Amino acid sequence: MLTAQQNVLLTQTGPGTGMGEVFRQYWQPLLLSRELQARGAPKPVKILGEDFVAFRDAQDRVGVIKPRCSHRGANLVLGRNEDAGLRCVYHGWQFDVAGRCIDIPTSEASIAENLKPQAALRALKVEEWCDIIWVHFGDESPDQEPPALPKLDFSALPDDHYFVSKKLQQCNWAQAVEGGIDTAHFSYLHANLQDDQRVGLMPTQGINEPAESGRYRWLIEDSVPQFTILKHDAGLVMCAARKADNEQLYWRLTQFLMPNHSMAPNSFPGDNHQGNTWVPIDDHSCWIFCYIYNPERPLTEQEVDGYASGSGIFANVDENYVPLRNRENNYLQDRDMQQHANFTGITGISEQDAAIADSQGLIADRTAELLGQTDLAIVRFRQMMFAAADAVQAGNAPHGKEHPGSYQVRSGDAMSPRSGVAIDVVTERFGELAGQNLTNF
Amino acid sequence: MLTAQQNVLLTQTGPGTGMGEVFRQYWQPLLLSRELQARGAPKPVKILGEDFVAFRDAQDRVGVIKPRCSHRGANLVLGRNEDAGLRCVYHGWQFDVAGRCIDIPTSEASIAENLKPQAALRALKVEEWCDIIWVHFGDESPDQEPPALPKLDFSALPDDHYFVSKKLQQCNWAQAVEGGIDTAHFSYLHANLQDDQRVGLMPTQGINEPAESGRYRWLIEDSVPQFTILKHDAGLVMCAARKADNEQLYWRLTQFLMPNHSMAPNSFPGDNHQGNTWVPIDDHSCWIFCYIYNPERPLTEQEVDGYASGSGIFANVDENYVPLRNRENNYLQDRDMQQHANFTGITGISEQDAAIADSQGLIADRTAELLGQTDLAIVRFRQMMFAAADAVQAGNAPHGKEHPGSYQVRSGDAMSPRSGVAIDVVTERFGELAGQNLTNF
Amino acid sequence: MLTAQQNVLLTQTGPGTGMGEVFRQYWQPLLLSRELQARGAPKPVKILGEDFVAFRDAQDRVGVIKPRCSHRGANLVLGRNEDAGLRCVYHGWQFDVAGRCIDIPTSEASIAENLKPQAALRALKVEEWCDIIWVHFGDESPDQEPPALPKLDFSALPDDHYFVSKKLQQCNWAQAVEGGIDTAHFSYLHANLQDDQRVGLMPTQGINEPAESGRYRWLIEDSVPQFTILKHDAGLVMCAARKADNEQLYWRLTQFLMPNHSMAPNSFPGDNHQGNTWVPIDDHSCWIFCYIYNPERPLTEQEVDGYASGSGIFANVDENYVPLRNRENNYLQDRDMQQHANFTGITGISEQDAAIADSQGLIADRTAELLGQTDLAIVRFRQMMFAAADAVQAGNAPHGKEHPGSYQVRSGDAMSPRSGVAIDVVTERFGELAGQNLTNF
């Protein structure tokens, strides 16, 4: 439970807000690379409550600049994307990917040269990496070197080992993260139904089956996972242990990376791995970037097709990455399906997650909660975010910012005896990819 | 004419407002019984500016509870309606019709038992009666006995003697009531046209015809009805006398019952009788519950079909009880019809009433009125509402609250000599059903 | 560049605002005459942020009155338009075109007579002229003589010499005017494209061609027109000189008439002439009235058909005069067209103008501009508007108000030697129609 003031701090990310200043310290995914074509349509984008226009010039360089022409304030989103940059269609002033004004055709040449520096537009730092356009608000001087990108687990893999996409979430970023790092809800939100009883998402074969199928049964059977939270240089490992067959424990091990990335569980060695980043558009919506990858082999065409059309953490989206089942159409919830087939009456794991987060309101009211032991991951997430806000306010680097190399961590599932201890389980399962300087938190 | 402050007092019914506190003293219709099925879809409802979720459990009991799960604030409207109550689809916490938390599957049993009382949700008191689900905000302790339901005239009748439905009104409750108790507008709003002249709603046979058909002519011929207002234990009788043939008076006698019921005229002995209750959803919309009944015989199937498809006080509504002719489509007003067929160019008595009330604004501005003698019923209605607000603020029961048995009153039409006096006419026409402790007001 | 306070002053026109008081000193176009039929549907209208209802009675007189019935506030837009005026459909109170209450059928005759003066509704002064319904807020006494209408150039012509229409602009009036008097943008906004190079709107024949076709090339070749602003009794003449062939200058001469009319250039002697008036609906939208006329001959049927379907300054509009290519559908901007066919990817000169003005925001932010020499017309426009606001606040007549006869001025194009001086060019081109008491400003 938070105070009203803490809830505001956690959820607001616009310019000048506490958490907004935290986010502005880190690189953030802005667009999928495939959303911008060279000399193609410029795209209006909003991130952390601020409007920009993004475009790719003829040299394949991406610019993300303030959208209003410095001359008379016409919107550059209407602009013509030319070889050297974006040209305002009102009087032809032109801007390059760094926001520099490179042509002022309404003035004589000598006057224009003097005017250009004043006419420059603020530009975000931009990097493309793993099919994603990343931006950093950073220092506004175009000369300063940007910090390094966070080295997520799949960034070292060949291109065909991973697939990335995104989906719109119609609520505040923080409650969407809190759903993403909350494995406890699997016992209900994602349950199927048979004869009015919850059953697992996938068929199981009963007692003594392999963990690969048994886990879907254990998720249902034990709705009180025991949580242990570990901390490392880039964030947290959330360890949730459920009772499994034969006095064993089934562990789901989730990575949270500051300030808004998660590597999700549900993978034994050999399985595909998955992750998300929740990027605030404004305080009432966010983009969820979705990653799937296999450290050992390329994804198959069939797998990619499945993800692209909305399986698992991927939503079934339209051409603008808006989920087809969304807040406006109540996720096509089917009450008959809810009585007989699955627990929500909503089709799709991603859509079930989206629906429940949206249902908490545009911004969840955390002043009236009753948190228990299964909400420990959420409590620690908030704690780390508040510490980051304190750090930034004190002029210090927030957690993880100075350790981009420590972002290469892995999430997944593990089995242990009933006496297993989280830090040992994690270390044994992931080795160095568990996280650097791992400790209990 | 009211002051701006009085207008606010009359029209606002949210928690903590003067009139909101008045409404919270009385039972209010919330839903039609047929809107909730056992174990069917829970329904989001708003009444007096407050959100709730309504559901019917497997034992056919109706619950109306606050809609946010006490765990993490997920919306229970997404919930699964199970045998014992509504279960949150996020982590499975379950609530019964009284708002009690009856299952907390994310905690060990002993912890859960301790947590449940804290986890209870506020529930309204609920009664079903005459095909309507009634609620009372009352005291929030679930142990206290609720007050008795107001005994409306048709409540004593066999089921097949009455029919109830509802319709959405897209403006503040008070101006809709003021239209409902205003018989003066019949001379224009509901007039038909012939050769550019107003004529009655129903065909008449000219002078010396029976009152049953003559009344439609008298409504047109006399646009200055003389008003007398009587008071009784449950509210008011509004008596409007129009000049009829042969030195007679034609009386339309309307009942107003605190705080928002009306029994409408237009019935001689033997006719069907009708009534309405205006229930604030918020300050910009209300549900109008509509009643029709015959004290002496069952309604015919043909009558019920007609009402269900929108005749008389019933609107032509969609499956959500939203009128098909509404604010958004300007009631399908037809200007040619308005020049040649009826006075508004709008089809339907109910729709004509709805249009004119909506047209006064979302909340009518009563600081710029010019009230006359034909507006006396409205003046007295406001006076009684303000007195109720004063009473509640002083810690006393508002008018009618302590006399639920006095709500069995009847409305209708009567004829008298030109010298007829209202209180005598009413008493002769309705006997005990005129109202208890009837006096001039 | 303006201060935030100046920007508010320039753009807000509601009752009680500085610029609102300026506008209320002048006659303003409200509707096209063809929008109101005798005894036809009354029309809700908003001008300068105030709501009225407009109607035409059986005697063909137009009324523009406050829309709420003085009795109970029902909206007269629902009203029945009868021979003598508009009748409220609630209780039948009736109002004539001067706002006088002429029937109160809910009161006895003697009471009604006393009540009528109190029941009168505020009415604007109305004149019909050149197919347009003009209104003046003026003094509210119905007895005072209204000021004379501004005598625009085409008002003296036979009916078949001109055509008028209107179109909705979805942004503040002032930035729309600033686009209308800004000839500098022709070099880009309205350019066509050939082989990735800007070319003129109309085909040209290369060097030494007649000015009638050469002007379209000069508009593209010289994007730094030299501005001189002249002042006269009704407003300003904006003179923009571009380099033409053979050491000549090509002049575009625009008239601005207080407070919101413009006569546009692009006409040599013999050509059709054009003009606009931008009338604020509220601070986020305005009506642009469009005029085309030929001083020497009737317009041809083919010309009128073309204008009516949206050529030149006329937009392609629906039956409510809303442009088919508008803010909601991003003006059907086609990015492929923008790369290969014209500079904006938007079809239509009018639509290109609308798009760029809308793109500046609902109200353009003038606190972050970089104005240059080509923006001089805009600077002088603002200066004249601010002077008018000062005059009105000091109790004086704003510029032009007392000279309605001086509004007969003409705009158009001219050629001169490179040494040509604006005031001489204008005087030679237009003679007395240049403007009365012409001086440099």
Query: Would you call C394 an interface residue with chain A, using a CB distance cutoff of 8 Å?
Result: no
Structure tokens at C227: 């501005």
**For residues B78 and A382, what is the distance between their CA atoms, to the nearest angstrom?**
26
Alpha-carbon gap, residue B146 to B131, rounded angstroms: 19
Average pLDDT of chain A to the nearest whole number: 96
Contacts of B94 in chain A (CB under 8 A): none
Residue A148 to residue B317: CA distance in whole angstroms = 61
C-alpha A128/C-alpha C406 separation (Å) is 62
Distances (CA, A) of B240 to B191, B377, C265: 18, 9, 68
The confidence score (pLDDT) of residue B139 equals 60
Q: What is the Cα–Cα distance from C90 to B186, expressed in whole angstroms?
A: 8
* pLDDT at site B142: 53
For C416, residues 6+ apart whose C-beta sits below 8 A from its C-beta are C241, C248, C249, C251, C424, C425
pLDDT tens track for A124-143: 999 999 999 999 998 645 55
What distance in Å separates residue A371's CA from the closest CA in chain B?
6
For range A267-286, the mean pLDDT? 97
Q: Is the peptide bond before B259 cis (omega within 30 degrees of 0)?
A: yes
Which of helix, strand or coil describes residue A427?
Answer: helix
What integer pLDDT is reported at residue C207 of this predicted model?
82
Contacts of B108 in chain A (CB under 8 A): 224
Residue B144 has pLDDT above 70, yes or no: no
Mean pLDDT of chain B: 96
Name the residue among C133, C132, C130, C165 with its Cα closest to residue C323: C165
Whole-angstrom distance, CA of residue A87 vs CA of residue A80: 5
Paired strand residues for B276: B262, B290
Distance of CA B176 to the CA centre of its chain: 9
> Each residue of A388-402: pLDDT tens digit?
999 999 999 999 999
> If you compute the radius of gyration of chain C from its CA atoms, what whole number of angstroms results?
23
The low-confidence residues of chain C, meaning pLDDT below 50, are: 140
Q: Which amino acid is at A129?
A: W
DSSP state of C132: E
Peptide bond into B298 cis (omega under 30): no
Do B224 and C91 lie within an 8 Å CB cutoff? Answer: no
Of the candidates C188, C368, C369, the beta carbon closest to that of A89 is on C188
CA-CA distance, C299 to B303, in Å (whole number)?
64
Query: In terms of DSSP H, where are the helices of B318-405?
Result: 335-340, 349-359, 376-393
Structure tokens that stand for C198 in this block: 């800007």
What is the distance between the alpha carbons of residues C11 and A165, in angstroms, rounded to a whole number?
A: 44
Query: How does pLDDT run across B301-310, given as a tens digit for each residue?
Result: 999 999 999 9
C107 part of contact set with chain B, CB < 8 Å: yes
Amino acid at A436: Q
- pLDDT of B143 strictly over 80: no
B382 SS3 class: helix
pTM to 2 decimal places: 0.95
Asked if B359 and C111 come within 8 Å (Cβ–Cβ), the reply is no
Question: In this predicted model, what pLDDT tens digit does every residue of C165-205 receive, in sequence order?
Answer: 999 999 999 999 999 999 999 999 999 999 999 999 888 88
Residue among B2, C189, B327 nearest A105 (CA)? C189
Tokens at A409, concatenated: 């961590």
Element (H, E) at A117: helix A109-119
**pLDDT classification of B140: cutoffs 50, 70, 90:** very low
C188 touches chain A (CB under 8 A): yes
Q: A335: nearest CA in chain B? A: B41
Judge whether residue B141 has pLDDT over 90: no
Q: Which residue of B has its CA nearest to C106?
A: B224
Q: Residues of chain B with pLDDT > 70: what percent?
A: 98
Q: Which chains are within 8 Å of A by 3+ CB pairs?
A: B, C
Q: How far apart are CA A79 and CA A101, in angstroms?
A: 14
| Residue B74: per-residue pLDDT | 98
* CA angle at B228 for the pair B162 and B11, rounded to the nearest 5°: 70
Q: Is residue B298 over pLDDT 80?
A: yes
A338, A343, A360 ranked by CB distance to B74: nearest:
A360
Average of pLDDT values for B252-279?
Answer: 97
Element (H, E) at C290: strand C285-293
The answer to whether residue A177 scores a pLDDT higher than 70 is yes
Residues in CB range of A290: below 8 A, 6 or more apart: A164, A165, A166, A167, A274, A275, A276, A307, A313, A314
> Given CB atoms, is C329 within the 8 Å cutoff of chain A?
no
CB count within 10 Å of CB A382 equals 20
Tokens 């809810």 map to which residue?
A338
Chain A residues with beta carbon closer than 8 angstroms to that of C187: 91-92, 105
The two three-digit tokens of residue B108, written as one number: 């060990």
Measured CA to CA in angstroms, residue C360 lies from A73, B4, B352 at distances of 5, 39, 43
Chain B residues touching residue C95 (CB < 8 angstroms): none
Amino acid symbol at C307: Y
Asked if C239 and C253 count as a contact pair (C-beta separation under 8 A), the reply is yes
Measuring CA to CA, which residue among B215, B285, B273, B244 is closest to residue B433? B273
Q: Do residues A385 and A27 make contact, with C-beta atoms less than 8 angstroms apart? A: no
Q: Do residues A34 and A40 make contact, with C-beta atoms less than 8 angstroms apart? A: no
d(CA B69, CA B53): 11
* Whole-number percent of chain C with pLDDT over 90: 95
> Which of the two residues, B147 and B250, has the higher pLDDT score?
B250
Q: Do A105 and C187 touch (CB under 8 A)?
A: yes
Enter the tokens of residue A59: 């040299």
Mean pLDDT over A331-357 rounds to 97
Query: Residue A109 has which token pair?
Result: 């040449």
Considering CB atoms only, which of B77, B105, B108 is closest to A187? B105
The closest CB to that of A370, out of B87, B105, B119, belongs to: B119
Q: Tell if the CB–CB gap between B359 and C77 is shorter than 8 Å.
A: yes
3-state SS string over B173-205? Answer: HHHHHHHHCCHHHHHCCCCEEECCEEECCCCCC
Q: Residues A242, A219: contact at Cβ < 8 Å? A: yes
Rg of the Cα atoms in chain B:
23
pLDDT tens for each residue of B69-122? 999 999 999 999 999 999 999 999 999 999 999 999 999 999 999 999 999 999
List of domains in chain B: 29-136 (2.102.10.10), 153-440 (no CATH)
